[in-house]
Each structure stands twice: as C-alpha cells, then as structure tokens.
Chain A
Amino acid sequence: MFLRTARCLVVLFAAAALWRCGSSPASPSGGVKLQGVVLQDATGGAASASVSAQSAKPGKITVTVQEDPTISVTVSSNGTFEIQGLPAGGFTLLFSVNGAPVGTIAITAVGEGTTVKIVVKVTEQEVELVDMETDGDEATGGLPPSTGGPTNSACMISGGRMGDRIELEGNVDSVSSTLFFKLRVNGNRASGLVDVAASGASYKCNGNKTADCKASLKAGAKVHVRGNLTNCSTTAASVTAIEVKIQK
C-alpha cells in the first residue's frame, strides 16, 4: 500500500517539477521591478476609439533594457512580462517585434525598490504607453501611492504625489529630443520646470490630425500632459507621459 501511494506521489512530483518552466523574469534581484502587459491587435473602448487602426500583426515581442542589453525578456503570448533588477533612477525599454525594433519607452526617476507597472500598445510603427503605475517606492515608505508618499509640501507640484497619475498644462520650455522635454506649468502649480519623458506617449494635435503630430513638439508649444509622477521633490519633478496633447 505504501509503495503504491509513493508511486502516486512520484507521478505528481514529476509533473510538479515542470511547474516553473514557463516563467522567465529577467533576473538580478533588488533594484526596480517592472511588470508589463503588451497589447497587440488591440481594439479601443470608449476612451480610445482610434487605437485599432494601426495595430501590428501578432509577432514575437522582446523587451530589452537599453542601458544593459543583457537584460532582455520575451513577452508571453498573453502579453505579460516581468523584469527585475532594473537600475534605480531610470531606464529605457526597447521593444522589438520579430527582431525588428519598433520603439522605446523611457521610465525616469524611479526609486530603489519601486515596482513599475506599465501597459503598452505595440503597432507596426511605434510603441505607445497606455497606462503606468508605480508603487512601493522607498520615498513613500513602501506604501502604495494612494496611501502614502510625500506630502504636497515636499513636492514642487501643488497636489502632486509620487506614483500618482497627474495632468499638467503648460508650455514646452525646451526639447532635448522627442523623448524628453521640460514643461513650464501654467500658473503657480509648480515652482520649477517639470521633466517630461514622452517617448512612449501618444501624441495628439488639436486641429491637425493628419500631419506628424510629434514634430509639432517645439519650445513654446502649449501642451497638456497626462502621465505618472515618477519623482518629485522641492526642486525637481519628473513625469512619464502617457499622452501629450499639443494645443498649438
């Protein structure tokens, strides 16, 4: 009887040995953890009616960290991926479909121990950041953004809190590349220029739907930025943009 029971258990253990073969979160522990979902062939809901127009054909997607190309993961068929041990401060993710690079997303000013969660839409031409959340940042005492974080007085943006979503209106002060620009926020809401990482953002131009909207991002342009406040102190603030609307 004992031998028979043992045989049953051996069968179960043999199958259980296969348990973790499917997962491959890119390794080193510590640093920043990134959890992501990639959408392909996506169709839009009420808030995003036009997003299905340029969807890419499904393909093998890889995500590589530009600062350390040895860190690379393959996105699973349900679109999920995870990377651990990313450098605190910031990093750039390069998305490739079937080996061909299609775009990058820069995540800036992320604290040690933070978990960054992103949702990305991949099309044949570009990568677009659809959603982003951060939690567990050291500066927030490990608390979720909704329950902790610096008080308003510790952040140069009035009402701003690290890890929270934020919307800002203002004028572009300077553009270092299409990936980054500095924003002078309207009124007295911010006491200084806000760094905006906009590599993965979707761009919309008021009254100009056909031309290359991204090219309209120039110094002086009036913009509305929607994104995630990844870092904020009394002297500096960084936003990873999900959407940039260029007013004129």
Chain B
Amino acid sequence: MRLAGALGVLLLTTDVAGASAATRPRPAPPGATDPDVSAAYSYLRAGEANLHGAGASASFHFWRNTRLLADFSFHTGSFAGADLREVIFMGGLRRVFRDEERWQPFVQLVAGGARSTTKVPDVLTSSQTSWGGALGAGTDYRLSPRWALRGQVDYLLLHSGAGWDGDPRLSVGLAYRFAP
C-alpha cells in the first residue's frame, strides 16, 4: 500500500514536472528569417597570382528566401618578387533554397569594389581600386540550428583602368545563425 502510494506520488510529481516544462516558454530555434554571420578561409586567383586570406559576411532576411548580404574579404600573396594584397568589399542579395533542410544551397549576386596593392619591398608601391560585382554559389551544411559549414565559389568581374578582370574566389568556413 505504501509502495503504491509512493509510486502514485512519483507519477504525479513527474507529470507535474513535465507539464511545467511544457508550459515554460522555450527559445525558438533560429529560422530562415534570422540574421547570420560567417567567417571563412578564402582563396582568390587575382590575375595570375594565387592569394590567400580570410573573409567575413553577414546576411539579413529581406523577402521570402532572399537575404540582404554584406561581404568582405582580405587576401595576400606574392608574385614575381612583388607583394600583393587585395581587399574586396561587396553587398547584394542572396537567395537561399530549402531553408529548413540540412543542405541549404544558395546563389548570390553582389556589387562593390576591390582595392589591390602591389609592393616591391623598399622600392615601389602601387594601388588601384576596381569596381564591379560577383556571382556566387555555395551551400550550408547545418551542423545544428545555429551552426553550419559553408562552402562557396564566386566569380568576380571587376573593372579598372586596365579593363575588365575575371577572378574566381573560393571560401570555406563556418556560419552562425542568430536566434530571435
């Protein structure tokens, strides 16, 4: 009898505990409309030079599956005895597909500029700004509601006094989605 009473108390308290947990407001997991940021290793083929560096981006929900995007990357390297540096700053739109799935591919179109600096140590420095845009595609692989692995390929079309240049860029990194 005592055992049955104890079990009854246990079941009741468990039920009450479960009910209270269910009624307690839980933070909603981050969704498609929440902003995200990313940081990545970035490779850029600038002219004939192979440059390496880092990139960062932030995106905000804009309309349906479309997000506003800000993108920044910084690359350095050397070629033919000269030190090269290129900073790319762009903004635009990103369209995300299958936003609630584990694999989330996206395409993006951005416009902006690039500042390239060429330096021959202790002798000369030359800088130039190019303007244009980039078409990119990539995918997120969701590790959790907040975190994702991101791989991305961009093709930059930039114009300067030297004419048009087409430079591919590859980046691999992590993306973080903020909760509301």
Binds A, one of B5-13, B32-40, B57-65, B133-141: B133-141
Asked whether A35 and B120 contact (CB < 8 A) given A42-B126, A117-B80, the answer is no
Note all chain B residues with C-beta closer than 8 A to A75.
47, 162
CB of A160 within 8 Å of the partner chain? no
The listed residue with most A CB atoms (<10 A of its CB), out of B86, B124, B167, is: B124
Q: Is the CB of B139 within 8 A of A12?
A: yes
Report yes or no: B47 in contact with A76, Cβ–Cβ below 8 A: yes
* Residues from chain B with Cβ under 8 Å of A222 in the complex: none
B168 to A22, Cβ gap below 8 A? yes
A/B interface sample: 17 pairs, CB < 8 A = A5-B103, A8-B103, A12-B138, A15-B153, A18-B168, A21-B166, A25-B48, A35-B48, A37-B82, A39-B82, A40-B128, A48-B124, A51-B124, A74-B163, A76-B165, A79-B118, A119-B80
The residue among B45, B80, B123, B125 with the most chain A CB atoms within 10 A of its own CB is B80
Contacts of A1-52 to chain B: CB distance below 8 A: 4-5, 7-8, 11-12, 14-16, 18-23, 25, 35-37, 39-48, 51
A19 near B122 with CB under 8 A, answer no
A37-B80, A44-B124 known; A4 vs B98 contact (CB < 8 Å): yes
Contact with B along A211-239 (1 / 0, CB 8 A): 00000000000000000000000000000
Contacts of B167 in A (CB 8 A): 22
The smallest beta-carbon distance between B175 and chain A, in angstroms, is 15
- For B159, what are the chain A residues with a Cβ–Cβ distance below 8 Å? 77
CB-CB < 8 A to B107: which residues of A?
Answer: 11
Q: How far is the CA of A237 from the CA of B151 in the complex (A)?
A: 53
Identify which of A54-62, A106-114, A170-178 touches chain B. A54-62
Q: Which are the 10 A-B pairs with shortest beta-carbon distances? A: A58-B161, A76-B47, A22-B166, A80-B47, A15-B153, A117-B80, A15-B137, A39-B126, A80-B48, A35-B80
Interface size class of B (residues with CB under 8 A): 35 or more
Residues of B within 8 A of A80 (CB): 46-49, 79-80, 84
The chain A residues found within 8 Å of chain B, CB to CB, are 4-5, 7-8, 11-12, 14-16, 18-23, 25, 35-37, 39-48, 51, 57-61, 74-82, 117-119, 121, 130-131, 133
**Contact in complex: A57, B161 (CB < 8 Å):** yes
Residues of B101-142 whose CB lies within 8 A of A: 101, 103, 105, 107, 116, 118, 120, 122-128, 130, 135-139
Q: Which residues of B contact A81 (CB under 8 A)?
A: 47-48
Say if the beta carbon of B155 comes within 8 Å of chain A. yes
When distances are taken between beta carbons in the complex, the residues of chain A under 8 Å from B103 are: 4-5, 8
Chain A residues with Cβ under 8 A from B168's Cβ? Answer: 18-22
* Contact between chains at A45 and B46 (CB < 8 Å): no
From residue 64 to 102 of chain B, which have CB atoms closer than 8 A to chain A?
79-82, 84, 86, 98, 101
| Contacting residue for A42 out of B84, B124, B130, B153, CB 8 A | B124
The residues of A that contact B160 with a CB separation of less than 8 Å are: 58, 77
* Chain A proximity of B100: nearest CB distance (Å): 12
CB-based contact B48/A11 at 8 Å? no
Interface: B158 (CB within 8 A): yes
In the complex, what residues of B have CB within 8 A of residue A47's CB?
A: 122-123
Q: Which residue on chain B has the smallest CB distance to residue A18?
A: B155
Chain A residue nearest to B166 in the complex (CB): A22
- Chain A residues within 8 Å of B123, by CB: 44-45, 47-48, 51, 130-131
Nearest CB on B from A184, distance (A): 29
